[in-house]
Amino acid sequence: MPGSKPKFYDRRSGSHDWERENEPGRKLLKFFRSKAGKVLPMQEVYSKFIAHAGQKKGYRREKWEAQEQKRSAEEVLIFFEKEGLIEIQKKNIIVRPSQTLQGTISLSKKGDGFVKLTTGTEVFVPGQYTSSAIQGDLVEILPTGIGRKGKLEGEVVSVLRRGRELYRMKITEKDYKFIVGTFLDMEGDLKEGFLPRKTLLQDLQDEINVGDVLVVTLKQDSDHEKNLYEAHFVRFESDTKEDTDLMRMLMKYNYTILYPEEVKLEELPDEVDESTVDNWNSRVDLRELKSITIDGEYSKDFDDAISFIEEGKKIRFYVHIADVSHYVRPGSDLDVEAYSRATSVYLGSRVVPMLPPELSENLCSLVAKKNRLAFTVEMEADWSGTIFHAKFYKSIIRVEERYTYNRAEEEIKAGDPNNWIFKMMKFADILRKRRLNSGRVDLNLKETKVVTDSEHNVVEIKSVERLQAHILIEEFMLSANIKVAEYIRKKERPTLYRVHEPMDVEKLEMLNSFLRLNGVNAQLQDTNYESIRHVLQVIEGSPSERLFNISLLRSFMQAYYSGEYLGHWGLGFKDYCHFTSPIRRYPDLVCHRVLESILLFDEEPYSEEDIKVMGLHTSHEERKATDSERDYYKLKACRFLEKTGIKEFTATLVGFKAAVAFVELNNPPVEAIIPAIEFTDEGELQAETDFTFYSKKYTKQYSLGETFPVELDRIDFEEIKIYVKLKKFQKKG
């Protein structure tokens, strides 16, 4: 409570503080703060750095040590310049007037902070210096020094913007002045909130009970004890007709389905025709060219359409992509909001759209039988899968028909050699085989999907079959993305590439251990495609295939967006970008603008620094979207499991850490947790290899991929975790 005894211990200690305050980089930053806005001679800065280096008692500095300190100073100064604190000239240093930085903070369970700056630098903030910051807040920090691992350290001086608008708070206590609760769905150490009774009507005070979950907002700043915040009542969590699980994800990740009212859309036409499109005559009119879309049954935003023509031994095929850049102008309110969102997020049957429905489901969407503006990639190839020419232009198309994946699949399976879609599939298969042979890693992993009814209840959790129609669209889109990336690279324009770095060679032995453990007569010799493909062929169809593929996938680096041309290792492409989904991904819109600037001989729309910042932001938002979608699926899986009443399962061991083992249940196919105490009385699992641990309790070795019976222990809806335990009859003796 405000004014009560603080609950949290201040971790500062005397010796630590002395070292912290006398670290050379810290001294230098302090010196810059005292000289903010001034021009300093370089020599004065160097002498300041060297003068404060290594002044522990009994320490004697020799000449060579001073030279080492000067080199260290140069590195530190370059680092500070990169972060915008100073500007280095030949003999002078300009100290920027502002010596603070801004970034988004994340918090560890210990309460320490990690602030991601727009430059990509991560600043470490010790727990006692995080102030009132909460996970995801935009904070202003004061850099205080360079830590032992070479990482910039700082302290939060103010919270500029809360990372979330709404929070869930579970009531734990009611006294005569305050109603107190703990915050849910919040990273870091435990945080508490309080509602002053004077802010609530008496009827509401009486209605709120211990154990209730409320939706609240927070004051922007808190002058109270650490981890204690004043909250304002919004509603009871249960007081909504919407899916409470959906609302929970929206709150946790700060998503808003509806576009803000202040984002004014420019006057949009009802129809796309010559009178409403200013560059109509400069576009290639492809309305007579047969084109179709192939999407999911419930899709509303159609990014892409395809066309296909046989010309003797040659093939001419087209990928038409919604021309979002025509409607979303750089710097407009709409563009700013789209960039902020960066990606559409799919939570069950609902979507948090990157673009408002007026565009995503109407004007930009390539709906059938209507004129639509597109950015077309026209490619020429032969039946060996060689694409020997590509050209790009703005177009006008009129999709002839909308296909679902299932309908397209039926025509493909019918096998009529004269069927247009069957011919496209035949060509797509050739493209795919060619790419697999040249290095693409294609893992056979099925996705699972949660099916809900109109009341938001889970009806089914099912595996999603990968159809040939999916592969058809995938190969056509890959072709367009490759050709656009290759063209932009050759023109040397800054853009966002889709980057996937090679697998870490250190992961090889771990994977080979798994292969030996499962009796697979193959080993990964290196991280080259040939070696990986050989092992995948050997293991295909075996009981250990799926788990090996999961382990292999976890060994891969995570793909991201970057201005650096580094290629896509997993797909085996030297050139790769995202161009084909501008309705739902901002990086695709960036590539559209860059490509158009080349075609029109315009100046570069983005600088290298712009692209760097955009790559960091869009990659972050993509990861956030993935986390939210995964959380939503897991939460619905928990609901479904509770609803079925099933208590016993067959489980497959898929991973383990010291404290827990991870298993996948057979039906429904969801992940569950077995605490280490189930296997050992020692509190922790003792790993024998990366894939095995020994259980003294059951006097046996457990290996990844092994199956055994388990029974439900409990479902934790707050942690979004399913806990199971071993069937007791397994114990020997």
Residue 124, token pair as written in the block: 């470490």
Do 622 and 628 contact (CB within 8 A), yes or no?
A: no
Q: How confident is the model at residue 9 (pLDDT cuts 50, 70, 90)?
A: very low
Average pLDDT for 348-364: 93
Q: Which residues pair with 693 in a beta bridge?
A: 687, 702
Question: Would you say 359 and 371 are in contact if contact means Cβ atoms under 8 Å apart?
Answer: no
The helix/strand/coil state of 569 is coil
* Residue 224 pLDDT class (50, 70, 90 cuts): low
Q: What angle do CA 346, 347, 351 make, to 5 degrees?
A: 50
668 cis-preceded (ω within 30 degrees of 0): yes
**Per-residue pLDDT at 74 exceeds 50:** yes
Average pLDDT, the chain: 87
Highest mean pLDDT among 112-116, 319-323, 699-703: 319-323
pLDDT one-digit tens code per residue, 20-39: 555 667 777 888 888 888 88
Query: Residue 529 half-sphere exposure, CB side, CA atoms within 13 Å?
Result: 15
pLDDT at position 69 is 67
pLDDT computed for residue 542 by the predictor: 81
Q: Looking at 228-237, 398-407, 441-450, 459-468, which range is the least confident one?
A: 441-450
Residues 274-300: tens digit of each pLDDT: 999 999 999 999 999 999 999 998 888
Mean pLDDT across 692-717: 90
d(C-alpha 406, C-alpha 366), whole Å: 19
Residue 67 pLDDT level (bands cut at 50, 70, 90): low
Q: Give the tokens for residue 602.
A: 């315009």
Q: Which of 485, 507, 629 is nearest to 562 (CA)?
A: 485
Among the listed residues 305, 270, 313, 269, the one whose alpha carbon sits nearest the alpha carbon of residue 286: 305
Question: Which whole-number Å values give the CA distances from 306 to 295, 370, 427, 577, in the listed order?
Answer: 12, 15, 13, 19
pLDDT digits (tens, 9 = 90+) for 76-106: 788 888 888 888 887 888 988 888 889 999 9
Strand order in the sheet with 686-687: 686-687, 692-695, 700-703
Residue 222, pLDDT score = 56
Q: What pLDDT, on the 0 to 100 scale, is given for residue 582?
A: 97
Q: Are strands 292-295 and 401-404 parallel, antiparallel or unpaired?
A: parallel
- Mean pLDDT calculated for residue range 177-200: 91
Q: What is the mean pLDDT of residues 370-384?
A: 97
Residue 730 reports pLDDT greater than 80: no
pLDDT band of residue 199 (cuts 50, 70, 90) is very high
Q: Is the pLDDT of residue 517 over 90?
A: no
Q: Are 495 and 614 in contact (CB under 8 A)?
A: no
Q: Which of 172-186, 196-210, 517-531, 628-642 has the lowest mean pLDDT?
A: 517-531
**C-beta separation of 436 from 533 below 8 A:** yes
- Are 547 and 559 a contacting pair, CB within 8 Å? no
Task: Please identify which residue in the block is written with the tokens 């370059």.
Answer: 78
Residue 116 CB neighbours (<10 A): 16
Question: Residue 62's pLDDT band (boundaries 50, 70, 90)?
Answer: low
Q: Which of 392, 403, 338 is nearest to 364 (CA)?
A: 338
Q: What is the pLDDT of residues 473-503, one digit of tens each?
A: 999 999 999 999 999 999 999 999 999 988 8
Q: Are 318 and 379 in contact (CB under 8 A)?
A: yes
HSE-CB for 127 with a 13 A CA cutoff = 15
pLDDT value for 24: 66
Res. 59: pLDDT tops 70: no
> According to the model, what pLDDT value does residue 63 have?
61
**Per-residue confidence band for 221, with pLDDT thresholds at 50, 70 and 90:** low
Q: Does pLDDT of 13 surpass 80?
A: no
Of 255, 251, 356, 379, residue with least CA distance to 308: 379
Going by pLDDT thresholds of 50, 70 and 90, the confidence category of residue 185 is very high
Give pLDDT, residue 270.
84
Top-confidence residue, 434 or 149 = 434
Which of the residue ranges 393-402, 433-442, 477-486, 618-627 would you say has the lowest mean pLDDT?
A: 433-442
To the nearest whole percent, how much of the chain has pLDDT over 90? 54
Q: What is the model's pLDDT at position 65? A: 63
pLDDT for 555-571, tens place per residue? 778 899 999 999 888 88
- Distance CA(656)–CA(155), nearest Å, equals 36
CA distance 680 to 698: 8
Question: Which of these, 374, 287, 378, 291, lies nearest to 583 by C-alpha position?
Answer: 374
Q: What is the pLDDT of residues 593-605, one digit of tens each?
A: 999 999 999 999 9
Q: What is the pLDDT of residue 4?
A: 40
Give the C-alpha distances (Å, rounded to integers) separating 227 from 55, 127, 194, 463. 37, 11, 11, 42
Find the range with the poorest average confidence among 345-359, 363-377, 536-550, 593-607.
536-550
Q: Give CA–CA dist 197/679, Å, rounded.
A: 49
Q: Report which of residues 481 and 223 the model is more confident about.
A: 481
- What does the pLDDT look like over 127-166, one tens digit per residue? 888 888 888 899 999 888 877 677 888 899 888 889 899 9
